[in-house]
Amino acid sequence: MTPTLKVSGIHKAFGAVVVANDVNFTISKGECIGVIGPNGAGKSSLFSLIAGSLRQDAGEIWLNGENLSNVPAHKRVKAGIGRAFQIPQPFAGLSVYENVLSAGAAGAGFRGSELIDWTCSVLDRTGLRDKADTLAGALTLLDRKNLEVAKAVATNAHLLMLDEIGAGLTDGEVARLVEQIAELKQDHAIIWIEHIAHALKRVANRIIVLNFGELVADGPPDDVMASPIVREIYMGLKVDDAD
Ligand SMILES: Nc1ncnc2c1ncn2[C@@H]1O[C@H](COP(=O)(O)OP(=O)(O)OP(=O)(O)O)[C@@H](O)[C@H]1O
Ligand SMILES: [Mg+2]
């Protein structure tokens, strides 16, 4: 079966800083991959490479069997790549409804009553229906992060890339987020960059670990979290000392 996303041999460097070093993985609908790694490891850069706002030095990005490696970012949105940014970027002076509507029009190409129905369904799926009339600039942190996810869903994405949307939330809020991602996973392939390990473990099918742009682990959450390489990266333990 053709995967939703195939990242093949992606390489990118800014001068001496390598942010992606021959990165390879695939993901399909119904799957959630958690991405972890230290600050500056290249996690957000990987999203930019997949989204097309950064261009790779080598390697290929495939979506649903289509080679998008040289396709500009706005066309990748239309092809089905949705991204929730690490720092939410709503139109602060527009309502939640208007923000989601804009994403549905620009990203998914819906118009008229179809666009209105689509917008309402996205607001329902992301728990924002009762905030529809609130100005985006007046939202709480949780709802701003929700809106960031809703805008990505509204583009009718096949692939959702979520960048640290749990950061700064309370335990209860993170639990709600995990439930929501579990629901969205039924219709999407999801890549979630997050530092909150217990949240990732509850919803991710796999975890990949980036370190200096290199994918150093890819496997089931429990195995990856217990692996010597993760203990070495996060706790400074040498692989030999890890047990
Ligand atoms: N446009 C750019 N030009 C030069 N260097 C960059 C650029 N974008 C990112 N970098 C550098 O690439 C490295 C990876 O950055 P990136 O934002 O991908 O890390 P990250 O894993 O998302 O980190 P964090 O956990 O802090 O969000 C960092 O050293 C960063 O300073
Ligand atoms: Mg980042």
State the Cα–Cα distance between residues 138 and 229, nearest whole angstrom.
42
**Predicted local distance difference test score (pLDDT) of residue 238:** 52
Q: What is the CA radius of gyration of the chain?
A: 18
Q: In 10 A of CB 111, how many CB atoms?
A: 11
State the Cα–Cα distance between residues 232 and 127, nearest whole angstrom.
39
**Predicted local distance difference test score (pLDDT) of residue 1:** 85
Q: What is the CATH number of domain 1-80+159-170+188-243?
A: 3.40.50.300
**Predicted local distance difference test score (pLDDT) of residue 79:** 96
Closest ligand to residue 49's CA: 1
State the Cα–Cα distance between residues 193 and 86, nearest whole angstrom.
9
What amino acid occupies position 141? Answer: L
CA 52 to ligand 2 centroid distance, Å:
16
Q: Write down the domain spans for the chain.
A: 1-80+159-170+188-243, 87-157
Strands (E), 127-205: 159-163, 189-193
Q: Which residues on neighbouring strands pair with residue 196, listed in sequence order? A: none
CA 43 to ligand 2 centroid distance, Å:
5
Does this model's pTM top 0.85? yes
DSSP characters for 18-52? EEEEEEEEEE-TT-EEEEE--TTSSHHHHHHHHHT
CA 41 to ligand 1 centroid distance, Å:
7
Q: Which segments in the chain show pLDDT lower than 50?
A: 239-243
State the Cα–Cα distance between residues 53 and 73, nearest whole angstrom.
6
